[in-house]
Amino acid sequence: MLRAGLSVKTLWQLMEMKTKTCLKVHGRMADLQHAMGAFRWMSSVRPAPVLTAAPVRALIDEQISIKGRFLPPNSPITLCSRMHSEDGDLWEAFAHYNTDASGSFSLTSDRSVGGSYTGCEPMGLFWGLHPPPGSREGLRLRKRNVETPYTVHVSLLEGHISPSGGPITELAAVTTERSYMAPGVRRIDIRQNGIVGTLFLPPGPGPFPAMLDMWGMGGGLNEYRSALCASRGYASLSLAYFEHKDLPGPLRELNVGNEYFKSAFRLLQDHPQIVAERVGIVGLSFGVYLTLNLATQPGINPSCLICINGPMGRSHFLPGDKGEVKYWNYDERGYIAFRQISLPSNMAPEYKVKMEKINCPLMYIIGEDDLSSASTENADQIEEELRAAGKSHLFTRLSYPGAGHLIEPPYAPNARVTMWRIKPEKMVALFGGYDAPHAAAQEDAWRKILCFLESNLRG
């Protein structure tokens, strides 16, 4: 029981004095620090430490508020986030904080003083995730099964420590779920008229505005951006065009042409739950060239275009082809930067998009530390050609210092280096970007993308 008229803080001070006196009397001063440290964190007069996350379940682009309380005042603590990718690889981040005078902290308002990031970063435990030392080379975190969430375990630890993949002793913990698909979003496999993709429809009967979604030359079928677009009210078709088992072979070759992309765009327009005259296109990396090229094809009239770090044309070779090796730049580890091949001056004239044919709003997003594509130079060229055609009003530029090639939906970890391919020989590619500015770019760009879509597909 508490003594009448005494606060918990006063009682703490009295018990602390009593403990010190007892230790002195019995001659055990060497144990003083350890005893008081244990008592400090496990006090019987204070509830056990609590760590909360709100909301516990959220879409990937939503912030989570992480708070702790019932801790010793003005004390060092560490927060550690851990998750496993779908390939089973461990990803983790950690940050050092100090509790306030009431024994509480909040990532929304408090600053990290060390660890994977510093400063006030409410979502740093998510975008700061990286494989610990000793992990496989060139890992990149990508969601393949968008129908299941990422599960991230957040631990509260005593003191300022560096977990580094090893075992940890938790004072408290909370597990969060991060999803790309909102409840009610429908995922539909598309294998018709030679088209290979996945269509995502928002909840409800529609009709909806829509986006055709194209990624780069990493190949396969990336669904997570489309799933998130549908979660935000836009039907979206994620389109495979390279290195997919259901496409014409051989792999490592681009075996589809303009008619394939035009058919995909028309599939969206013809869908009964999509507004035919409100369809846009988004492309990243080589997908930028495909986006711009498709927008200039006869009979294709997109409502808007979003281009993220990519070229306005191409050479006679595809990224990663041996024929373009003269344009590759290697760092001291033998990692490859593909940036030079996408300079406008290195593009084949017949593969350069005629920008005067663009007739809809175009947003171009630049990571200024992009090591895979000459994004700034391409944006400059696009803007210059649109201006010459009297269409400068169509162009919006977003440019982010310190951001790299893969500007994705918010709070995804940056992949500065990634495994490009393993066969026939291992190639590790440089994508660029630094964690904190890249994370800020992704958050700001996504917010402005949604505003751009609202204006041009709904307005």
- Active-site positions read 285, 370, 405
Query: Could you please report the per-residue DSSP string of 94-159?
Result: EEEEE--TTS-EETTTPPB-EES--BS-TTHHHHT-BPPTTPPTT-----S-TTS-EEEEEEEEES
Q: What are phi and psi of 150, to 5 degrees?
A: -75, 140
Beta strands 427-430; 208-214: pairing state: unpaired
Position 393: which residue type? H
User: The tokens 């994370």 sit on which residue?
Assistant: 439
d(CA 117, CA 434): 11
Scan for tokens 């760009």, then name that residue. Answer: 445
Task: Answer yes or no: are the C-beta atoms of 367 and 307 closer than 8 Å.
Answer: no
Whether the bond between 298 and the residue before it is cis, its omega within 30 degrees of 0, is: no
Please state, in angstroms and rounded to a whole number, the distance separating the CA atoms of residues 326 and 196. Answer: 33
Distance CA 446, CA 453 (A): 10
CA angle 148, 154, 155 (to 5 degrees): 150
Cβ within 8 Å of residue 48, ≥6 positions away: 70, 172
Amino acid in the structure at residue 114: G
DSSP, collapsed to helix, strand or coil, labels residue 51 as strand
Q: How far is it, in rounded angstroms, from Cα 381 to Cα 226?
A: 28
Q: CA 60, CA 411: separation in Å to the nearest integer?
A: 7
DSSP 8-state class, residue 373: S
| Runs of H (alpha helix) within 274-397 | 286-295, 375-388
Tokens (6 digits) for 299: 């009979």
